[in-house]
Amino acid sequence: MHPRVRLVAIDIDGTLLPTYSQTISRRNGQALKDAQDAGITVAIATGRRTAYTAPLLAHLGLRADMPLITSNGAVTRTLGGESLDRSHLEARVARGLCGLLRQFGVMVFTFDRTGRGELMLEDLDGAKGRIDLWVEANRDSIKVVKPLEYALPDGDDPIQGMVTGGLQKMRQAEAALKASEWSNACEAIRTEYPVRDLSILDLLPPGVSKGWALERLAARLGISRAETMAIGDNWNDVDMLEWAGHGVLMANAAPELRILGKERGWMQASPNDEDGVGQILEQAIADNKANARAPSARVSKLGSF
């Protein structure tokens, strides 16, 4: 008998959201609520920061205590705003990363505060050219500082940095970081969107990732790894897919990730444009009910590679 699912962590972009949309579909939104009503703790796990995450969920009637793992694991809060967990990247490390990585693309540092200055960058024009929608959505939080090192005095530590540009440039940036003196001072996690030739290299405190944050959240809730499901589509989801007892990869993931998913035995969801998250949650709810009725004879119908 497999343990029932008690906690599920869900990525947003490319997973919960349809492609080119900022609105959660009716089926996915209903499945989130139904899962909560069925006793499953539903958590969001995203590279977005909290202020860029919560508005997507505000109209769905979800519980205020719903956990939001944001900034790729650096911050965990509830939908209602309660702080659960947080980590910081040392300012001195962030300054060093500026000198190393600005040659590869647009750099941004995120701070755990509200209003202008939550996001610090030095090249707004470059950001507009590469991530227009992100700039428009976050304009009220952005402050331009040149050079960016001036935004990073000792004692004012960001929670996360990122450098963004084309796929090849970000792979070069990651290689440069691994070969540098800063390689052990931060965690680098890459997200890729090949259709747009867009990649984001997130710069986090050492050891921090979605998987790290999910493990800590599960421990806080008294939920085991075997009772945890994670659903994602990109490279920054790999740690949580590996940690969770039920790893679920979206069918719209990159071919290399699908190969990895087959090797790791992850389940497969339908694509994000076909409400894959909703389908998986509906089946998890049904499996939990079947497990409760006949605990010695549970057979999951969740898809696999």
Model pLDDT for residues 146-161, shown as the tens digit of each residue: 999 999 999 999 999 9
What is the pLDDT at residue 304? 47
* 7-86+208-293: CATH number: 3.40.50.1000
Measured CA to CA, the distance from residue 291 to residue 167 in angstroms comes to 44
State pTM to two decimals: 0.91
What is the dotted CATH code of the domain comprising 91-204? 3.30.1240.10
pLDDT value, residue 126: 72
pLDDT digits (tens, 9 = 90+) for 201-219: 999 999 999 999 999 999 9
At residue 12, φ and ψ (nearest 5 deg) are: -100, -70
In this structure, the strands spanning 142-144 and 119-121 are parallel
Residues spanned by CATH 3.30.1240.10 within the chain? 91-204
For residue 172, is pLDDT > 50?
yes
Please say if the pLDDT value at position 22 is more than 50.
yes
pLDDT in tens, 94-122: 999 999 999 999 999 999 888 899 999 99
Band (pLDDT 50/70/90 cuts) for residue 291 is confident
Give the residue range(s) of CATH 3.40.50.1000 domains in the chain: 7-86+208-293
What is the tens place of the pLDDT at every residue in 221-255?
Answer: 999 999 999 999 999 999 999 999 999 999 999 99
